[in-house]
Amino acid sequence: MLAYLDHHATTPCDPAVVAAMAPWWGEQFANPASRLYRPALEAAAAIEAAAAELHQGLAAPSGAQVVFTSGATEANNLALKGLAEAALSSGNPRRRLVSVVSEHHAVLDVLRYLERHGFALTLLPIDAQGLLNPADLQAALDPGAGGPVLAVSVMAANNEIGTIAPLAQLAPLVHAAGALLHVDGAQAVGHIPLAMEAWGIDLLSLSGHKLYGPKGIGALLVAPGVQVAPQLQGGGQQGGLRPGTLPVPLIVGLAAALKQALADREGRALRLAALRDQLWTGLQALGGLTLNGPPPGPQRLPHNLSVTAGGVDGTRLHQLLRRQIAVSSGSACSQGSASHVLAALGRTRAEAAATVRFGLGRSTTAQQVEQALRAMADALDQASNRSAASRPER
Ligand SMILES: *Cc1c(COP(=O)(O)O)cnc(C)c1O
């Protein structure tokens, strides 16, 4: 059976989450905005309870707004375009945005869009482990570097190489410069500790399907006093910040998934780190593989591993692997184009193609890790035999 080891692309919706959603599809179908009868009020109460669950689970500051969106992509768009538009219309003179080269496309492409519309963009480099240097951020925040910065966007954890950003250390720098901190938490929420208020996060994006919840739902948490302009106009739901009839079952599912993910987070992280270490030890024994991102430890997601097979034909490698294991060759969203994250680490196009990203998850077993190691051993043998003779010994 195919071993699913691609939990950074998406996670299965947990059966308990499916059960929590069940009544809200059928019997309890009322529109939470129709406040004149009991079923609608019950739906509205379910939405409020879900928002409270997110608020509490993410340790948001009191008065923070929970805005439900279709996912992290939409949350990032709302956060960054919303901040930019609010600054333009309120006469706030800040016109610079700062982020990092290794961000997800759902941040980078939004920032590039804003760059085409008059905002200046600075993308900070990463080191060999995928880490941002706080001194580079400090320098970019200097108004002398091109004007005052409106916002800084840094992902909490990287979806390809698992690097965990030192957010609590970065926020004071951002705030000292009068800027706001947006965090794409899609790969972090429910997986590693994250505290919105204590860490000084002003806007936090998350996604249901990355934490064993349903697809098509996410949220943006906005700290009190942060001005965000809506990017949709309509019926005034969610304080007008993101109008549209609320998908009650998905919202109930998101909250249930977060609650469950936070409840088993520590135990899951310990268990998956041990399996990840077993995988990495076995892969090292095969030889010829380079680790991408930080070594297993506190700077890396416990369930992530990314390795590059130098000199191996990546297309062939993945053709062989796909019979045994579901893994990614980089970002699932990049549709064949070489990963910008691996490029930033100095990997060539060919090396990026010969990269295997493992994402372990709640259902991953030691047997699946053994299966992955056998699949890698076989695939590396075969892909190596058929590729150029210039390849190093394995
Ligand atoms: C998956 C992912 C997204 C996009 O989330 P969707 O909910 O699928 O839109 C954004 N950022 C990161 C880091 C991700 O891993």
| pLDDT tens digits, one per residue of 159-217 | 999 999 999 999 999 999 999 999 999 999 999 999 999 999 999 999 999 999 999 99
CA gap 290, 283 in Å, rounded: 10
Mean pLDDT along residues 221-232: 98
Q: Is the C-beta atom of 71 inside 6 A of ligand 1?
A: yes
Where do the CATH 3.40.640.10 domains begin and end in the chain? 58-247
Determine the topology of domain 58-247 in CATH. Answer: Aspartate Aminotransferase; domain 2 (3.40.640)
Q: Is the C-beta atom of 210 inside 6 A of ligand 1?
A: yes
* Centroid of ligand 1 to alpha carbon of 70 (angstroms): 11
Residue of 168, 333, 374, 385 marked active site: 333
Q: Is the C-beta atom of 184 inside 6 A of ligand 1?
A: yes
CA gap 379, 309 in Å, rounded: 11
Determine the topology of domain 3-9+262-390 in CATH. Answer: Aspartate Aminotransferase, domain 1 (3.90.1150)
* Centroid of ligand 1 to alpha carbon of 388 (angstroms): 37
For residue 231, the 8-state DSSP code is S
Taking only the tens place, the pLDDT of each residue in 66-88 is 999 999 999 999 999 999 999 99
Please report the pLDDT score of residue 387 as a whole number: 44
Please report the pLDDT score of residue 337 as a whole number: 81
What is the DSSP annotation of 176-187? HTT-EEEEE-TT
Total residues belonging to the chain: 394
H-helix or E-strand spanning residue 253: helix 248-263
Residue 362's pLDDT band (cuts 50, 70, 90): very high
* Centroid of ligand 1 to alpha carbon of 385 (angstroms): 37
Please report the pLDDT score of residue 384 as a whole number: 85
Please report the pLDDT score of residue 155 as a whole number: 98
Token look-up 């070594």 returns 295
CA gap 103, 68 in Å, rounded: 22
Of ligand 1's atoms, which has the minimum distance to the CA of residue 210? Answer: 1
Helix, coil or strand: residue 74: helix
Where do the CATH 3.90.1150.10 domains begin and end in the chain? 3-9+262-390
Spell out where the chain has E strands. 3-4, 65-69, 96-100, 120-124, 149-153, 180-184, 203-207, 218-222, 289-291, 304-309, 325-326, 355-359
Token look-up 């699913």 returns 4
- Is the pLDDT assigned to residue 386 strictly greater than 50? no
CA gap 76, 219 in Å, rounded: 9
CA gap 308, 208 in Å, rounded: 29
